[in-house]
Amino acid sequence: MPADDLSLTDAQRLFDGAPCALVVTREDGTIEQANQCFSDWTGFGAGELKGRRFQDLLTMGGRIFHQTHLAPLMKMQGSIAEVKLDLLHRDRHTVTVLLNGVRHEQAGTVYNELALFGTTDRDKYERELLNARKLAEALLLEKTAAEMALQQAQAELNNAYEIAQRRALFAEQMVAIVSHDLKNPLTAIKMASEILARGERSPKERQLLGHIGLSSDRAQRMIADLLDFTLARVGQGIGISPVVIDLHTVTRDSLDELRVAFPQATLNHQATGSANAFLDADRVQQIIGNLVANSVAYGDLQHPITVTSHQDEQESRLSVHNQGAVIPEALIAVLFEPMTRGADQDSEVRSVGLGLFIVREIAQAHGGDVSVSSSLGRGTTFSVHFPLRTP
């Protein structure tokens, strides 16, 4: 077979078997040649297509577009690219295609070579892309709405927090005012009971006067704790006036007073090391009083309460030890917070739950801290550490 014939045969085979629709038309749209793919899309055989006009195989909208845009563009530009049209199948269903065309002139005759590509996969991709975009927009709207709701909730929370802060500050100020104003009448009650106790009284009267004195002392301790708590909470901190003191002497004097306040308890004192320390004596006595009162309230009074004062080259230390129930680990973590108690038992010496909080505040005002250890057999020990300071 001659080479030219072989090339022609190959070209025809490629034309007929192309994976897209190929059509050759005259300038007026008359089909000269169409491949198998175009025949399948339209439902007409190659012989039926020849002589038909290409625009007659389009939908009504396609025909109008062909007349007003496609044909004029081909004539002016000589080509068109990716024009979307709908072919009308023989059974009247439509096939959407993308049209690319080139205009050629041969031997005085104008031909349009058209290539049509199916859009099924492309349309599916575009739909998926559109759906993804809609989903992204919906998620963005949800995110925006969530952020707005979060901002509104944050604003409401901030407002509620400010209101709570104002109420708390007002309550603390009221506690401070009331506590301060109660000091004078309590002092008067205590002085009156002491004066009455000096005269001749029956045993019953002396017992009642003793109860009045103990109740006054307890109320004064509560008021002192409330005033210190208020000062600590409003940010001023507990004030101290440190001077050089004999730690062992201050501890011993404090225990002498506490033995009168807690006659049911056995209070022992152990002194180790040197004695001089730069501390506030009144606050040290307040620490001892609060820790001893805590031991009386929650310890086993069948065993003595031991208070140890210690001074060395590095620190001053006060320790109060008692036997009794072990303090749970969970409670130790919050034991020095205000309004925290070790148990719900009733006690004549129980305060408003500020004693240990005040102890920690006084220790920190001196630059120190407080710790506690509690175990079965060894009992419970509160230790207040003061770093060595000089005037």
SS3 of 112, please? strand
Task: Find the length of the chain.
Answer: 391
pTM over 0.85, yes/no: no
Are 265 and 305 contacting, i.e. CB atoms less than 8 angstroms apart? yes
Pairing outcome for strands 21-26 and 94-106: unpaired
Choices 2.40.10.120, 3.20.20.450, 3.40.50.150, 3.30.565.10: CATH for 238-387: 3.30.565.10
pLDDT at 320: 96
pLDDT at 3: 47
Those residues whose C-beta lies under 8 Å from the C-beta of residue 296, and which sit 6 or more positions away, are 262, 264, 265, 305, 347, 349
What single-letter amino acid sits at 236?
Q
What CA–CA distance (Å, rounded) separates 75 from 257? 118
Q: Where are the domains of the chain?
A: 3-118, 125-232, 238-387
pLDDT at 350: 47
- pLDDT tens for residues 81-130? 989 999 999 999 999 999 999 999 888 899 999 999 988 777 777 778 88
Blockwise average pLDDT, block size 10, the chain, 391 residues:
56 85 93 92 91 93 91 91 91 91 90 90 78 89 92 92 77 61 70 78 79 74 70 67 91 89 91 86 89 91 94 90 90 79 51 77 90 91 89 71
Burial of 323: CB neighbours in 10 Å, binned 0-12, 13-18, 19+: middle
pLDDT at 196: 78
pLDDT at 301: 92
Q: Which CATH class is domain 125-232?
A: mainly alpha
Q: Following CA atoms 247, 250, 256, 261 in sequence, which dihedral angle do they give, to the nearest 10 degrees?
A: -110
**Fold category of 3-118 in CATH:** Beta-Lactamase (3.30.450)
What single-letter amino acid sits at 7?
S
Q: Which two tokens stand for residue 97?
A: 């295609």
* Cβ count within 10 A of residue 261: 17
Burial of 74: CB neighbours in 10 Å, binned 0-12, 13-18, 19+: buried
How wide is the angle at C-alpha 79 spanned by C-alphas 25 and 96, nearest 5°? 70
pLDDT at 127: 79
User: What is the spatial order of strands in the sheet that 31-34 belongs to?
Assistant: 31-34, 21-26, 109-118, 94-106, 79-88
